[in-house]
Amino acid sequence: MTLGLSITLLGPIAFVATLLAVVALAWLDAAVTEGLLEADVSPGFPETDEGLLAFLRELTVGRATWLGAIYLLWKTVLGFLGFVGIVVALSLAASLTVAPLYYGEHVVVAGWYAIDSLGRALVAAVGGVAVGYLTLVLVNLGGRLSAIVAEGLLAAEE
């Protein structure tokens, strides 16, 4: 939107508003990450003591703004992949775990493995519990990775 409006007076205003939104969202997400994952982050916000021009210059070319944008992009990709992975894995785990309740010739795993006996259904249930546990372990590792990336990108400048 800011590119299309760049030939009008609204373009720079929309650009500054977009950068302010990026900084605000990075700060908000960092606060949540710091609270939930106990990461040591403190995202920067451009200083306003030196006037409006210095603030705008720091906002447009400042390190904190663009690292915040990269961080938000990372969190978007991680969130999408995490959501899809969790939904698929937990659906598989739940389906396999309840297999002893409805096994028969009509229950087939991966198109070729029929769960038609109680023994196979119990093995599938154990596999479902294992898939569920592995999913939770991977979610925990994803949280730790997210905290490490947040600390790397949103650490306070010293």
**Domain count across the chain:** 1
Q: Is residue 86 part of a domain?
A: yes
pLDDT in tens, 10-34: 778 888 898 999 999 988 988 888 8
Q: Is residue 64 part of a domain?
A: yes
pLDDT category of residue 88 using cuts at 50, 70 and 90:
very high
Q: How far is CA 111 from CA 66, 92, 107, 152, in A?
A: 47, 14, 9, 44
pLDDT in tens, 23-70: 999 889 888 888 888 888 877 777 778 888 888 888 888 888 888 899
Q: Which domain holds residue 106?
A: 4-153
Q: Are 125 and 99 spatial neighbours (Cβ–Cβ below 8 Å)?
A: yes
Q: Is residue 158 part of a domain?
A: no
Rounded to the nearest integer, the mean pLDDT of the chain is 85
Question: Within its chain, how far is the Cα of 42 from the centroid?
Answer: 18
Q: What are phi and psi of 115, to 5 degrees?
A: -100, 90
Phi-psi region of 93 (alpha: psi -120 to 50; beta: other; left: phi over 0): alpha
